[in-house]
Chains A and B, each alone.
Chain A
Amino acid sequence: QLQLQESGSGLMKPSQTLSLTCAVSGGSINSGGYSWSWIRQPPGKGLEWIGYSYHSGSTYYTPSLKSRVTISVDRSKNQFSLRLSSVTAADTAVYYCAREGDPGWFHPWGQGTLVTVSS
């Protein structure tokens, strides 16, 4: 069965660039019809969709983060990545990766990784 696992920077300082990777196992990131997404959840708050990339490299980002976000796919490593520039404390959250089908359909999810931005 398909499994996703996040890894990357946990504690960051303001203005730095957040970098996370999601390793995909039990299936190929080249699967047609799906995109590869990032979603975040600030501590004690709700979910916020960040964006996605297809294996082709085609991307879409939520408008509020578009200027700071890059999502990319590494087909050779069967993984995809998130970069978020100029982070602030407001970017402190658990970051999840997930496979996306229809807009709003996310399955499965990674276990999530906490990123804390603090000076």
Chain B
Amino acid sequence: DGGITQSPKYLFRKEGQNVTLSCEQNLNHDAMYWYRQDPGQGLRLIYYSQIVNDFQKGDIAEGYSVSREKKESFPLTVTSAQKNPTAFYLCASTIGRGQYGYTFGSGTRLTVV
């Protein structure tokens, strides 16, 4: 299924709760990314990692955290500090630096209840 797996597909969060979105790839890609998709706003970068044990903030990192302990895995935690977390979250990977397109996961739809 494209080599990059996101889980769960749907996630419901209560107010004040932290939740973690999973992203796993078996493409041997070095770089991994998290984007948030809201209607009419395209894809906005949350965090990215170009190598294990290193990651950088994107444009909308506040209220989110990540880790990159393994090359294959790049989980995203949505913390209670994120005031408007309801969105579609997409994980992507690419082979590394340079001019290569992304492979996207199938996404996680997060809803606050």
| Chain A partners chain B | no
Q: CB within 8 Å of B: which residues of A?
A: none
Q: CB within 8 Å of A: which residues of B?
A: none
